[in-house]
Structure 1
Amino acid sequence: MYWPKLPTATIREKVFEALNKNLNYNTEPILGLPGTYLDQEQFYNFPFLKEAAFLSVLVNNPNHIGCHTYSDGEKYFSGTQQLEIDLLRMCAVEILGAEESSYDGYVAPGGTEANIQAQWMYRNYFIQEKNAKADEIGVIFSEDAHYSVYKGSNLLGIHPIVVKVDHVTRQIILDDLKEKLEDAYNNGVRYLIVHLSMGTTIFGSVDSPTSFIKLVKDYFKDYFVHVDAAFGGFIYPFSAQNNELDFKNPEVSSITIDGHKMLQSPYGTGVFLCRKSLIEYVQTKEASYVYGSDFTLCGSRSGANAISMWMILMTHGSDGWAQLIQQLINRTNYLCDALDQMGVKYYRNPDMNIVTIDSDEISKDLAEKYYLVADNYLNPRWKKVVVMAHVNKELIDSFLIDLKKERNVAASF
């Protein structure tokens, strides 16, 4: 896992070089494109834009429609598209263990679309290659998985199959998995999408693929494995000693990873990655006016989003990013050590920065003071702390002091 750290001036220079390779709406005789620069009544051509690389890309408004790892994209924006290709290589090869040129992907508006993109791709594969019907296809996932799985199954007309988890370990209950697989098969499901999580939204829990897939093979010969690493993708590969949920595992066929969570890029920066050529099953051939065709759910998308992620990764380099992640893990360890001393019940994967506290251990007022997120606002059983970049030791200490006071008062009655 390696990519270089570049000086700020070099990053800026490379972004402007890429931007200069794009068509310029101000200087080129562009008549046919249904797009232009951002509205100049609101987004002025300020002098500082000459130094602000990301904002300059945003104002110039390049469209990154298509999948540039699989086919040529719109030639009008080839400069910034090349930086997206470089970003995808860093994510797929350096972070998630793929071989060079063995993957396809694009920068999606977020993890929800990327997860649905995977379901769409596999559904179409089963229909086109196996003559499957939609109602013969299921997607199986743990009860802790992100709600986008439900969205995708609803949109695509495939069966959602939910597996219970142990409420202490947050791992799937194998007996329930076996029961759900049997039920699915007996009810006519013959093709399966296995949705595993690298860091669930509420708990930060990480699914163990080996036992899950072993049982799947007992019932289904046709299946694909998708990994939702929307939250964990920019932390778990750096903090875990052994990551079984990346492309080094031959069972894994696609991965979602979000920039607008751990990477601190703007919202709208998810990434979808899959093994080479699978993405052809979501080609929209009717998009005949799009150079290189389209393979994405969203269609048109801002090139600025991809540039923001590329800039952040190049600012830190792989070593610098690993150091930042270790700092977050250390702060999370500090929080958990204090909770242990107080006897507070919580769940935490040791390689993640999410600490989910039993709701009986903390008052509603204190949870609201520190904006803790509940698993269910109508009937909360858990409330989570996420140790993000802004969560420093002082903020953690403030929370711990308040929590200790609250528990001392409760103990006095």
Structure 2
Amino acid sequence: MATRDERTAALYGNRFLTEEVPSTLFPATGMSPTDTMRMLGEDLALEGDPMRNLATFVTTWMEPEAQRIIAENLHRNFIDHAEYPISAEIEQRCVRMLADLFHAPGETTGCRTQGSSEAIMLGALSLKWKWKERHQAAGLSVGTPNLVFGGDVHVVWEKFCRYFDVEPRIIPLAKDKYTIGPDDVAPFLDENTIGVAAVLGTTFTGHMDDIVGINRLLLDVKAERGLDIPLHVDGASGGFVWPFLYPDSPWDFRLEQVRSINVSGHKYGLVYPGIGWLVFRETADLAQDLVFYENYLGKTDATFTLNFSTGAAMVLAQYYNFVRLGREGYTYVMKQMQQNARVLAANLRDTGRFEVIGDDLEQLPLVAFRLAGDHVGYDESDIAWQLSAERGWMVPAYTLPPDAQDVKILRALVKETMSRAQVDRLTQDIDEACKTLDLKGGAHPSERRRAKTGTGY
């Protein structure tokens, strides 16, 4: 029987207000749905505001109709193809639409994944197995395979190499060169190269590797040295941007050596996490050793994903966006973001405080920028901290990969939910943060300060 205090709390208050929340031991008793919801709400209230999170590429808003589709299908396990064949068919509709968007020349194959990390793992595994097939067919040794990519890639590429015993051949960047091209790639290629990975829209500055030039190099290598080295395009961010902002820019299956492409639906595909996609140029580009046929749930299915059970909701949400927006709608949304990004870049440049990086090139809808001139008292990390403390904006500051690690930049994603008024407010808040730092100085060790004082402070 409940005590008087428990009955009073149930009538007038909530347990979580005066008790420690469960955090280490499994709770001995439960609490009411309302108390549980409010307790979680108290925790989540301390998190950042997604609308002011300019660090993440991940979608933070969807239409109410899409949210309803997601909510009504959270219980649907996508992998149960026998029980949910329509979800499986909708996945393949999305794959075929992406193949069309990426100019696949004919029949192809692909799949949904949990995100681009899984898609990259699968795509790179197929590169390794196809290389093994070629070597075995030619009577060659399958010794130590290697994979070539630039320092501008996501960390998942290095993870793949470590997890699956492939030598990573990482091309360093340079202080004024933040992507890679054919001259960078050429020295790293040999008979054990399973493929080259090129990035469409780097997470660092939003630019693309010279995919056209790398493709031309690989064609020359095939003609002159007999090495058929495929090219995988990591379009995690750019795969839903370039087809709409730069439709005449070739980077996809229009280039002969591009054999596979990954893209994140939960980034510029405008779907909540997690959903990614892997698309092959032709069905033959998927190594058959990776395909498993199982009769587990009443129907024989072919599967080549790393995950098994996963929700169907985000696949359905992706299809919703495809048919809701179409090419015209996606183009409109991308151009809206690009226009606001250009305004933000111009605003920052006009303050006289900042140098904007590469906004005259093909780029994701973002602004990469750094302090211009000599600001002895603070650096980009101080600005990021001040913005967060004063106004709640989350704008990351970071150094670039080797050999450009001496370059520190800020990066602001301009997404669908960021209006022109917010762009102007952000500009004003950045300027106010700098004025505050002009007076008080920064807290982070800075190369500029070390150069002036000989210390880290």
Q: Structure 2 length as normaliser, TM-score?
A: 0.69
Q: Which amino acid aligns with 1:363?
A: I
**1:91 aligned partner:** 98
1:300 has 2:309 as partner: yes
1:146 Cα offset (Å): 0.9
1:358 has 2:370 as partner: yes
Q: After superposition, where does 1:185-224 map in structure 2 within 5 Å?
A: 185=190, 190-216=192-218, 217-218=220-221, 221-224=227-230
Q: After superposition, where does 1:137-286 map in structure 2 within 5 Å?
A: 137-172=145-180, 175-181=183-189, 185=190, 190-216=192-218, 217-218=220-221, 221-277=227-283, 278-285=285-292
Contact 1:230–1:257 (Cα < 8 Å) also in 2? yes
Q: Which amino acid aligns with 2:158?
A: Y
Q: Distance in 1 between matches of 2:424 and 2:362?
A: 20
Q: Residues 173 and 307 (structure 1 numbering): CA distance in 2 closer, same or farther, change over 3 Å?
A: closer
Contact 1:358–1:381 (Cα < 8 Å) also in 2? yes
1:173 Cα offset (Å): 6.1
Q: After superposition, where does 1:127-142 map in structure 2 within 5 Å?
A: 127-131=132-136, 135-142=143-150
Q: Distance in 2 between matches of 1:116 and 1:405?
A: 44
Where structure 1 has 5 or more consecutive residues not aligned to the other structure, the ranges are 1-41, 43-48, 66-73
Q: Distance in 1 between matches of 2:205 and 2:267?
A: 15
Q: After superposition, where does 1:111-122 map in structure 2 within 5 Å?
A: 111-122=116-127
Q: After superposition, where does 1:43-62 map in structure 2 within 5 Å?
A: 52-59=68-75, 61-62=76-77
- Pick which of 197-206 and 364-373 moved more: 364-373
Q: Structure 1 length as normaliser, TM-score?
A: 0.76
Contact 1:356–1:385 (Cα < 8 Å) also in 2? yes
1:372 has 2:399 as partner: no
Q: Residues 232 and 367 (structure 1 numbering): CA distance in 2 closer, same or farther, change over 3 Å?
A: farther
Q: Distance in 2 between matches of 1:220 and 1:373?
A: 45
Contact 1:134–1:158 (Cα < 8 Å) also in 2? no
Contact 1:282–1:296 (Cα < 8 Å) also in 2? no
Equivalent residue for 1:81, pick from 74, 81, 88: 88
Q: Residues 403 and 138 (structure 1 numbering): CA distance in 2 closer, same or farther, change over 3 Å?
A: same
Q: Distance in 2 between matches of 1:332 and 1:302?
A: 34
Q: Residues 258 and 173 (structure 1 numbering): CA distance in 2 closer, same or farther, change over 3 Å?
A: closer
CA RMSD of aligned residues (A): 3.0
**2:108 aligned partner:** 103
1:75 Cα offset (Å): 3.1
* Cα deviation digits, residues 31-63 of structure 1 (max 9, x gap): xxxxxxxxxxx9xxxxxx9x944332223x133
Q: Which amino acid aligns with 1:91?
A: L
Q: Residues 76 and 129 (structure 1 numbering): CA distance in 2 closer, same or farther, change over 3 Å?
A: farther
Q: Distance in 2 between matches of 1:157 and 1:135?
A: 11
Q: Which amino acid aligns with 2:79?
A: H
**1:330 aligned partner:** 339
Q: Residues 407 and 394 (structure 1 numbering): CA distance in 2 closer, same or farther, change over 3 Å?
A: same
Q: Distance in 2 between matches of 1:318 and 1:153?
A: 36
Contact 2:215–2:258 (Cα < 8 Å) also in 1? no
1:161 Cα offset (Å): 1.0
Q: Residues 211 and 379 (structure 1 numbering): CA distance in 2 closer, same or farther, change over 3 Å?
A: closer
**How many residues are paired up?**
349
1:108 Cα offset (Å): 0.3
